[in-house]
Amino acid sequence: MARKYHRKRRPPRRDRSTPAGEHLPVMLAEVLAALDPKPGMVVVDCTLGFAGHSCELLKRIGPTGLLVATDLDPDNITRATEKLKAVGHPFHAHQGNFAGLPGVLATAGVQQADAVLADLGMSSMQVDDAERGFSFMRDGPLDMRMDRSRGRTAAELLNTLTAEELAAAFTELGDEPEAEKIAAAIVAQRDTKPLERTGELRELIERAAPVTPLLGPGHGPIRKQVMLPTTRVFQALRILVNRELANLTQLLRVLPTILKPGGVAGIISFHSGEDRLVKNAFRDGLRTGVYAAATDDPIRPSEQEKLDNPRARSAKLRWARTPG
């Protein structure tokens, strides 16, 4: 049976002050408040992206500080480096997985940092590029690899995993209620023709788990702003392709060793599984004395930011500080 959703009317979005083509860093004010970067600090940005956070952090640590930034996507490194150079302060940008952060710091000539930031998930540049296959709004190849030089693509996983494995991924990584139905439809489809395009997958999901919009009084058909089956399945596939939860688990494991006494880590998550890992790691660290302070509840974006930057809607920021 098709699911039906209602939502309240929202005020119209105000025009963004950011020029067209710019990419807004998520929860920038909240990140700066949590990390409190000061001149001379060593700061790590684990997810460089378009350098929105990194540029602001670099400005605050100044010429006596050092920014170390990593990104799994080499395309991000190239574009972001130009923005960081324009700031004019010292930085190191490395292409690689933040799970190997101790090695990255060693390459930059440092052992520990005053602050570490990780903004999990995709960058808007990746979403906007149809050839990357991250978005169901743009037809393109089912790739989804953040590093296109290695690993299995989303298409390869969809066309080789069993129905049970696919359903488990959609449930555990996407919280999709219709996971078994969608997985069965994928297996049936690939017996005829392998799935290769994002548009093909979107059509299949919408047939297998349709959503019927309801009429709002006098306002036409509307849908509640929740994650619908297509969104959840695409999210689950991206996490699976890039082993994101395993990489986050490793980052959380090494964080206390790479933070200086009194150092702070801030992590922005967009998925319940990610947030759960961060919450549990910070809570356990607080209990055992690894951390001296941590957020009780996640910090959420303001209502205005949700309007100005749709990517921020599901963001949750948590921070933790080491003793000292």
Examine residue 15 and state whether it is found in any structural domain, yes or no.
no
User: 248: closest CA among 285, 290, 278?
Assistant: 278
Residues 150 and 111 in one domain: no
Note down pLDDT in tens along the chain; length 324 residues.
Answer: 444 444 444 443 333 333 333 468 999 999 999 999 999 999 999 999 999 999 999 999 999 999 999 998 888 898 899 999 999 999 999 998 999 999 999 999 999 999 999 999 777 777 778 888 888 988 999 999 988 888 999 999 999 999 999 999 999 999 999 999 999 999 999 999 999 999 999 999 999 999 876 555 555 555 444 568 999 999 999 999 999 999 999 999 999 999 999 999 999 999 889 999 999 999 999 999 999 999 999 999 999 999 998 888 999 999 999 999
pLDDT of the residue at 17? 36
Q: Are residues 275 and 295 in the same domain?
A: yes
Residue 279 is part of a domain; what is its CATH number? 3.40.50.150
The pLDDT, as a whole number, for residue 277 is 96
How many structural domains are present in the chain?
2
Q: How many CB atoms lie within 10 A of CB 288?
A: 9
Q: What confidence score (pLDDT) does residue 255 get?
A: 97
Q: What is the pLDDT of residue 122?
A: 74
Residues 41 and 94 both lie in one domain: yes
Res 290: pLDDT: 97
The β-bridge relationship of strands 259-269 and 113-119 is parallel
Same domain? For 162 and 220 the reply is yes
Residue 214 placed within a domain: yes
Query: What pLDDT sits at residue 213?
Result: 64
Residue 44 lies in a domain: yes
Nearest to 17, CA basis, from 307, 313, 315 = 307
Residue 9 lies in a domain: no
Q: Is there a contact between 312 and 29 (Cβ–Cβ < 8 Å)?
A: no
Domain boundaries, position 297: 28-124+255-305
Last residue of a domain, one of 201, 218, 242: 242
**Domain contains 130:** no
List, in order, residues 6 or more apart from 118 with CB less than 8 Å away. Answer: 46, 47, 98, 248, 251, 265, 266, 267, 268
Walk across the sheet containing 259-269 and list its strands.
91-95, 66-71, 42-45, 113-119, 259-269, 316-321, 293-294
